[in-house]
Structure 1
């Protein structure tokens, strides 16, 4: 391809803090960085550049490659794998079911689940908050939202977690195998809705089956791909974010006590945690023409990673970016949920789960701290996969 020098290595071992130090270096020295790792790509690290690429869907498309490392071995999965206007019917069908009001109807169930998952940890004096709580909570909340039969949820949890871990381990054959299991679940759910239709105002699969594009139903395989995408996409970020928050609060006992004493501060804290520990760095785009960005020329067909986790610590936008600042004046500018036509549609459902989980963890404990090493994720996520805690 070229004789470019590699600006960074995405495959080096990482700990909880090291990626943020590396992205700070890149923002200062090489804000649009090239690597041969993970299949070769450009990494865009500054806020304005990330925002530009995410917002300009005509120049930077998602239909060639939507994530780094490339994991779509088993078919296209709308809406993420399609560009506007092809992706629009899928978003149009799902968006009403992800409104703020709709998301909040699941809060009581999320609270019940969180308390049930916390109870054995509290009785033992601790446990792994990711493995025992945050890997289950989003599966069950999304299961409720998707109206999946309850006896499917353990299988969804196991298959989804196996797929996520395969992606983090960069094991293509395991990714493909576990993805195919999730496709089987998607086809089974669609068949169930054909046999027993539900109200499309309440059921996402029924809404997709009823959706029309230019008067025609959505194509069968793309419909399957959409349900497959939805089954997993809502699992990862809440799992990682709850772990990230608990790591931070274990290190900052004063903030932990402040939030415990005044839970009304938790929604604002969640926004700053989302900025500080944005769980995504690997969503990808591909330029359709030569583009000058950050002093570099990106050629057509080259993959571009949107490093949201770096953009949200850009010193030019967020002063003292590595500090937690409650009620940060410009917090609404953070990019934790993306920008443009592919911004996260589950923003309200995600915020609700983080709020409820943090409220319940703080209410169930008088103090918690780390009791062992934190295991971190690999690309495309960034953050904690295992966070052992000791409860007081």
Structure 2
């Protein structure tokens, strides 16, 4: 029998801070919570529970992998497959996502950052999400995917439309916008068939060249993988840069400290990742009933791993709502997940945040909020629109 208890409402209006306050309440009072909203699901809010579900093979991704459910248009490896089925796709892509490979993208990322910031500096400010961080990851991932330059504007518009459709929680809009991304994936695969590239540097070619037990990967799953890769790296950097900008606008002393000593930025990025983890809706489903937090989660019931809450668990990170440089256990944060589905693009993600913050601080003497913050909805958490005034 499905659980009907309503411990929280995931669809109520939020501001930049309210969701974190709600998760602090749930960690204290109801750490394994249930809601009927967004189709009904469980939410794990404590660190140990989230870490367990991310790593335990009893929790799978093949039934539902995000809340709200958005996969209506086919399976998209590696996320939509369980180990060991997902392994050939990770094996093909992981070498191209190494830290060494990510660092080769720094000059391109820095040039893009300066190009995007220049008009904002010239007019004394602007929306750091709409004008900067919604474009930067598209072009960085486009460079990594070796996409034709003329496709990037289309990818930006199609990806943003899909993200907004997910936030609208309207299945028909999600399907329509997802299918546009599938069309782009088909076009890219067709281009690689016509004009093959080196599979040691080109992700699509690496998938086409991959073999599992001597056989090529299935065409429809290669398509799903390319479709997944096209958009998966777009949202988190956009939201994270917006959230970092909000924090530094509220803490001008820290803003100036980082501006004066850029060597502190990598450590600051790790604490920002913990404090403003951009995902709360990655999901798993148990293959059998599971006891957690004194409650029974039924077989195939959706479970949200609320990483954004886990990373503020006071039992693991004391004074968890505060920014503390060089936390002794900062390496334990779950911003990039855990287990077989940890984020394979973590090095590119860190690199983008580092370079973006370096360039934003270098281009300004000071910046401050200059309007209303618009926040994301499930499955992300953070800022989608942050108007800034530059000094």
TM-score under structure 1 length normalisation: 0.99
* Cα offsets for 1:13-43 (capped at 9, x unmatched): 0000000000000000000000000000000
Tell me how far apart the structure 1 counterparts of residues 174 and 278 of structure 2 sit (CA, whole Å). 20
Aligned-partner SS, 1:83 = coil
Matches within 5 A, 1:38-49: 38-49=38-49
Alpha-carbon distance between aligned partners in 1 of 2:385 and 2:165, rounded to the nearest angstrom:
15
Runs (5+) with no aligned partner, structure 1:
none
CA distance in 2, matches of 1:108, 1:198: 22
Instruction: Give the secondary structure class of the aligned counterpart of 1:385.
Output: strand
1:22 and 2:22 matched: yes
The reply on whether 1:372 has 2:348 as its aligned counterpart is: no
Distance 2:387 2:5 in 1: 39
Partner of 1:299: 298
Deviation of 1:3 (Å): 5.9
Q: Distance in 1 between matches of 2:359 and 2:168?
A: 32
SS in structure 2 of the partner of residue 89 of structure 1: helix
Alignment of 1:334-345 (within 5 A): 334-345=333-344
CA–CA distance in structure 2, aligned partners of residues 276 and 221 of structure 1: 38
- Residue of structure 2 equivalent to 1:280: 279
**How many Å separate the matches in 2 of 1:383 and 1:52?**
24
Deviations 1:204-242 (A, max 9, x none): 000000011111111111110000000000000000000
Q: Which moved more, 1:243-252 or 1:164-173?
A: 164-173
Report the Cα distance in structure 1 between the residues aligned to 2:168 and 2:370, rounded to whole angstroms.
25
Q: C-alpha displacement at 1:109, in angstroms?
A: 0.3
Instruction: Tell me by how many angstroms 1:143 deviates.
Output: 0.1
Taking the aligned partners of 1:37 and 1:266, their CA distance within structure 2 comes to: 38
CA displacement 1:116-164 (0-9 Å, x = unmatched): 0000000000000000000000000000000000000000000000000
CA–CA separation in structure 1 for the residues paired with 2:2 and 2:355 = 49
The answer (yes or no) to whether the contact 2:4–2:36 under 8 Å persists in 1 is: no
Match of 1:36 in 2: 36
Tell me the equivalent position of 1:348: 347
* Structure 1 residue matching 2:327: 3-state secondary structure: coil
Give the drift of 1:4.
3.4
Is contact 2:3–2:34 with CA below 8 Å preserved after alignment? no
Q: Is the deviation greater in 83-92 or in 168-177? A: 168-177
CA distance in 1, matches of 2:244, 2:51: 25
Aligned position for 2:166: 167
SS of equivalent to 1:326 = coil
Distance 2:222 2:39 in 1: 29
The structure 1 segments of at least 4 consecutive aligned residues displaced by more than 4 Å after TM superposition are: none
Q: CA deviation at 1:291?
A: 0.6
Equivalent residue runs for 1:165-314 within 5 Å: 165-314=164-313
Q: Which runs of 5+ in 2 are unaligned?
A: none
Q: CA RMSD in A?
A: 0.6
1:132 maps to which residue? 131
Deviations 1:67-125 (A, max 9, x none): 00000111010000000000000000000000000000001000000000000000000
- The alpha carbon displacement at 1:5 in A equals 2.1
Q: Distance in 2 between matches of 1:153 and 1:83?
A: 31
Task: Give the equivalent residue in structure 1 for 2:118.
Answer: 119
Q: Distance in 1 between matches of 2:298 and 2:95?
A: 38
User: What is the DSSP-based 3-state SS (H/G/I as helix, E as strand, rest coil) of the residue aligned with 1:323?
Assistant: coil
Superposition pairs for residues 91-106 of structure 1, below 5 Å?
91-106=90-105
Q: How far apart, CA to CA, are the structure 2 residues paired with 1:236 and 1:215? A: 35
8 A Cα contact 2:285 2:301, kept in partner: yes
CA contact (8 A) 2:41 2:301 kept: yes
- The equivalent residue for 1:8 is 8
Matched with 1:327 is 326
**Residues in 1 aligned to 2:211 and 2:9: alpha-carbon distance in whole angstroms:** 44
CA distance in 2, matches of 1:237, 1:145: 16
In 1, Cα distance between the equivalents of 2:373 and 2:218?
Answer: 43
Distance in 1, Cα, partners of 2:4 & 2:377: 24
TM-score between both structures, scaled by the size of structure 2? 0.99
> Take 1:227 and 1:364, find their aligned partners in 2: how far apart are those partners?
35
Residue 387 of structure 1 aligns with which residue? 386
Q: SS of 1:322's equivalent?
A: coil
* Separation (CA, whole Å) in 2 of partners of 1:181 and 1:164: 12
